[in-house]
């Protein structure tokens, strides 16, 4: 199931009932959202990630949902090292 609505676009070649082959390209789709400001775009992204239904393969949707709960991500207060540090904290390495 693909998300939709104002400011939401899913670029993908998959469709309802599509069977992903065993040697698939790991980029099966790209979710793009926009809004009048950061807060609106984030709200649309959260909603859209909750609407996407993809079965049969693991996706990065749970990761993005976790990231969208992080205050630094919500505020835009991060740099290129942020994700690596966050991942280490999740594993208990930091």
Higher pLDDT, 18 or 68: 68
**Model confidence pTM above 0.85:** no
Average pLDDT along the chain: 88
Place of tokens 């959202």: 33
- Tens-place pLDDT, residues 27-62: 788 999 999 999 999 999 999 999 988 877 888 999
The answer, yes or no, to whether residue 66 has pLDDT greater than 60, is: yes
CA distance 94 to 88: 6
Residue 87 phi/psi, 5° resolution? -60, -40
For the record, the structure tokens of 76 come out as 């835009």
pLDDT (tens digit, 9 = 90+) per residue, 16-28?
Answer: 788 777 777 777 8
């Amino acid at each position: 199931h693909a998300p939709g609505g104002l400011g939401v676009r899913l670029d993908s070649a998959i469709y309802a009932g599509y069977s992903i082959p065993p040697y698939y390209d790991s980029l099966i789709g790209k979710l793009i959202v926009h809004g009048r400001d950061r807060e609106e775009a984030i709200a649309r992204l959260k909603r859209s990630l909750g609407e996407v239904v993809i079965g049969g393969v693991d996706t990065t949707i749970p990761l993005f949902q976790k990231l969208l709960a992080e205050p630094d991500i919500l505020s835009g207060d991060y740099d290129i090292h942020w994700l690596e540090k966050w991942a280490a904290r999740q594993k208990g390495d930091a």
